[in-house]
Structure 1
Amino acid sequence: MNSPRNLEPKPTILIVDDTPDNITLLSALLKDQYKLKIATSGMKALQIACAAPHPDLILLDVMMPELDGYETCRRLKADRATADIPVIFLTAKIRPEDEEMGLSLGAADYIAKPISPAIVRSRVATQINLRHVRLCLQDQNRLLEHLVAERTRELVKMQDATILAMALLAETRDNETGNHIRRTQHYVVALARRLAAHPRFCSQLTPENIELLFKSAPLHDIGKVGVPDRILLKPGKLDADEFELMKLHTVYGRDAIVSLEKYLGGSNDFLRFAREVTYSHQEKWDGSGYPQGLKGDAIPIAARLMAVADVYDALISRRIYKPPFSHEKAVGIMKEGRGTHFDPDVLDAFLEVAASFRDIAKQFRDDEDEF
């Protein structure tokens, strides 16, 4: 019975030489252990080497008409399809500078003619084994990369689910928000993508940061877990004292993110965005917002985007003290806040993508709302 090893296909060697006697000699020497292909010119060698399946090793003469061995090797190494095929020069050019030339072109070995059968067999076997090891390592690396990528995807999904669960936990205490967090995170992305090429925003609104904004946006109201029920669930507008307590939800959210950063011993872009949107999404462009009264560019970009998303969604959503406004009415109200409540450029971007906001609102609408 044949062993699994015996069932493996023979490695393929391409012999390149314009002298028939040399080809006959090498063929007789190697045919029992290897599958052989023959080329009598450099051009023919390139054609055979480029065709799949590629040879596992090339034995290459140097002194050939038209395209010599050195140029043939140079072209093989310049082609991605053949660059990894080991090349052994077999040649009568045995000066040190000749061997140096061959090795500098990427050859794996250099054997002088007339050849020694034992040396040829040994060095051919060495290169075949090395190629086999390299291919095995490449396969293992690809497998490891796949496993790492798969594991990373699983971890990212788990992290995303944890973030969403935290946000939903905060939202369950507010019976008016519905799908607010889903809508606002999509609004923020629509705005960010529109502003990504804008000179004021392009350095921060990279594709990677937009993805982080999408993930951090649901956390903007997590501080509401610290607001008393009598205020959060009050069936009507808040009085001045109650509103002061409600405003603290921005501080509570910021403090939660800061505590996490301290626990981790540092921050990252995701946590920075999360901290910015939780703490500053109620700031206003003219400085009349809270909790810090920041003005203009002092307000983080992430918070400026969230401010537009948050206000639009509040306008189109049903509240105990008001019915949901139409998209058109909401847009009209938003226009009035340009340069006072909202960064003018961000508000202009909102107006340009307002139709997308309406589509997002429809996709994630609360059951009782109509558009």
Structure 2
Amino acid sequence: MRVLIVDDSRSSLAFLGNVIGALGIAEVECLLSPRAALKRAELAGFDLVLVDHVMPEMDGVELTRRLRHSPSYRLVPIIMVTSDNDRALRVNAIAAGATDFINKPFDPTELQARVSNLLALRRAQTELAEKAAWLKREVESATRHLVEREEEIIWRLARAIEYRDGDTGGHVSRVAQISYLIAEGIGLSPERCRCIYLAAPLHDIGKIGIADAILSKPGKLTPAELELMREHVSIGARILENGSSDVIRTAELIAQSHHERWDGTGYPDRLSGTDIPVEARVVAIADVFDALCSERPYKRAWPVGEACREVIGLAGTHFDPACVAAFEARWSEITALLSATEARTRLAG
């Protein structure tokens, strides 16, 4: 423990230093100048400060007030040393942040008792703060591990859905990354962008409930088959309903509404405009764009530029115009993403 004593009287300074030093529980540093004491306090961490009331540069009340302005001394005990018993002085000193008072002339026994008690309080306070900091680190570490596990499970499940849908080309990964760029582009918070990024891969989770004959049919679906295929959004929402995490709750919104259209002609609820959850509006663009660029048993892969023009042309009908504008604004990053994915595919091949 470290104690700072500030007094413009050399005799008082020596007396206080000797009495407190005799306790043998703290290092004691003595200074005659309040200004020098402020500078020293910025550099060294003291556990207790004693300040004289009457000093020429600044009085003890002002020194106390300035010390309290420093976050490092917000909780450090400060003792005001004074021969004045005036009530107004004590009220002002307490308002400035004084913890206790020592009267002149000093009683060495009383002085040592007060200093010992305040140092013990400071020690307990410091130990509690250290334990709280340790606990915070432990909680953050445990939370980080939980988040990492949640992310791993989501991506492995998304990979399984992708195989189930007959696609192993990284569709869900690209949808997630493009969705993140769009979400960021429309000004969503980093937390919501992250949620959308992690939830987007589960947008088609309901397809695990669709029969293979429909899901893998190479030709055009009949109206009856199309109705069965469309049930994947409701199946997905039921799989994800009542989630306890933000990511799963976001995934439920996306699974339920990513086939809604801005003009109200989508499914399953024929929502329109901003009644469609923004998370679903974001993912809808990423999903359609990447699906257009991907080859399927029933269609060719569109050229990237042609797919981009198609998305832009559907602003205000199929898609939220603001989301399309963000898609267009982040186009250079999207094409870089597609090029990187293509390069990885060639290397893997």
Give the TM-score normalised by the residue count of structure 1: 0.86
AA in 2 matched with 1:75: R
What's the counterpart of residue 239 of structure 2? 256
TM-fit CA distance, 1:137: 0.9
Q: Is the 8 A contact 1:212 1:270 kept in 2?
A: yes
What are structure 1's unaligned runs of at least 5 residues? 1-10, 197-204
Equivalent residues in 2 for 1:120-269 (5 A)?
Answer: 120-176=111-167, 178-196=169-187, 205-258=188-241, 261=242, 269=246
Give 3-state SS (helix, strand or coil) of 2:234's partner.
helix
Find the residue that maps to 1:99 and give its secondary structure. helix
Residues 76-87 of structure 1: matches in 2 within 5 Å? 76-87=67-78
2-structure distance, mates of 1:244, 1:177:
25
Alignment CA distance shift 1:101-1:286 (3 Å): closer
Alpha-carbon displacement from aligned partner over 1:62-113 (angstroms, at most 9, x marks no partner): 1111311111111111122333332112211123333333223211210111
Residue of structure 1 aligned with 2:109, choices 114, 118, 121: 118
Aligned to 1:278: 255
How far off its partner does 1:220 sit? 0.5
Q: CA shift at 1:304, angstroms? A: 1.6
> Are residues 51 and 296 of structure 1, via their aligned partners in 2, closer, same or farther at CA, if it must alter by over 3 Å?
closer
1:367 maps to amino acid: T
Q: Higher helix proportion, which one?
A: 2
Quote the offset at 1:235 in angstroms.
2.6
Correspondent of 2:85 among 94, 99, 110: 94
Specify every segment of 5 or more residues in structure 2 that has no aligned partner in the other structure, as ranges: none
Q: Residue type of the partner of 2:299?
A: K
CA distance in structure 2 between the aligned counterparts of 1:27 and 1:270, rounded to whole angstroms: 60
Equivalent residue for 2:8?
Answer: 18
Is the Cα–Cα contact under 8 Å of residues 182 and 364 in structure 1 kept in the other structure?
Answer: no
Matches of 1:40 and 1:176, distance apart in 2: 79
- In 2, distance between residues paired with 1:28 and 1:276? 71
SS of 1:364's partner is helix
Query: Residue 30 of structure 2 is aligned with which of 38, 42, 67?
Result: 38
**Structure 1 residue 184, shift from structure 2 partner:** 0.4
CA change 1:12–1:288 in 2 (3 A) is closer
Q: Contact conserved, 1:50 with 1:82, CA < 8 A, in 2?
A: no
Alpha-carbon distance change, 60 to 287 in structure 1, aligned in 2, over 3 angstroms: closer
Residue 60 (1) aligns with residue 51 (2): yes
Query: Which residue identity does 1:50 align to in structure 2?
Result: E
More moved, 331-340 vs 56-65? 331-340
Q: Which runs of 4 or more aligned residues in structure 1 lie more than 4 Å from their structure 2 counterparts after TM superposition?
A: none
> What residue identity is the alignment partner of 1:229?
D
Counterparts of 1:126 and 1:253, CA distance in 2: 63
Q: Is the 8 A contact 2:20 2:115 kept in 1?
A: no
Q: One-letter code of the match for 1:45?
A: A
Q: Secondary structure at the match of 1:110?
A: strand
Counterpart Cα distance in 1 of 2:74 and 2:225: 73
Aligned mates of 2:61, 2:272 — CA distance in 1: 69
Aligned with 2:40 (options 44, 48, 51):
48
The offset of 1:347, in angstroms, is: 2.0
**1:344 counterpart letter in structure 2:** P
- CA 1:26–1:301: 2 relative to 1, 3 Å: closer
User: Structure 1: how far apart are the matches of 2:245 and 2:2?
Assistant: 52
Q: Distance in 2 between matches of 1:311 and 1:104?
A: 65
Deviations 1:289-335 (A, max 9, x none): 22233333332222221111111101111212333222112112223
For residue 36 of structure 1, give the secondary structure of its aligned residue in structure 2.
Answer: strand
Is contact 1:102-1:110 (8 Å) kept?
A: no
Question: Which stretch of the first structure deviates more once superposed, 60-69 or 75-84?
Answer: 75-84
Q: Distance in 2 between matches of 1:155 and 1:112?
A: 57
Tell me, in whole angstroms, the C-alpha distance in 2 between the residues paired with 1:333 and 1:186. Answer: 20
Q: Which amino acid aligns with 2:47?
A: D
Residues 176 and 318, structure 1, Cα contact 8 Å, conserved in 2: no
- The percentage of aligned residue pairs carrying the same residue is 35
Measured against aligned partners, the alpha-carbon deviations of 1:8-57 in whole angstroms (never above 9, x if no partner) come to xxx322222222221222233223323222211322222222222x2222
Q: CA separation in 2, counterparts of 1:328 and 1:310?
A: 16
Residue 292 of structure 2 is aligned to residue 301 of structure 1: no
Q: How many Å separate the matches in 1 of 2:86 and 2:263?
A: 81
| CA gap 1:170/1:31 in 2 versus in 1, 3 angstroms | same
Greater Cα offset, 342-351 or 209-218:
342-351
CA displacement at 1:118 relative to structure 2: 0.4
TM-score where L is the length of structure 2: 0.91
1:4 maps to what in 2? Answer: none
Q: Distance in 1 between matches of 2:319 and 2:116?
A: 73
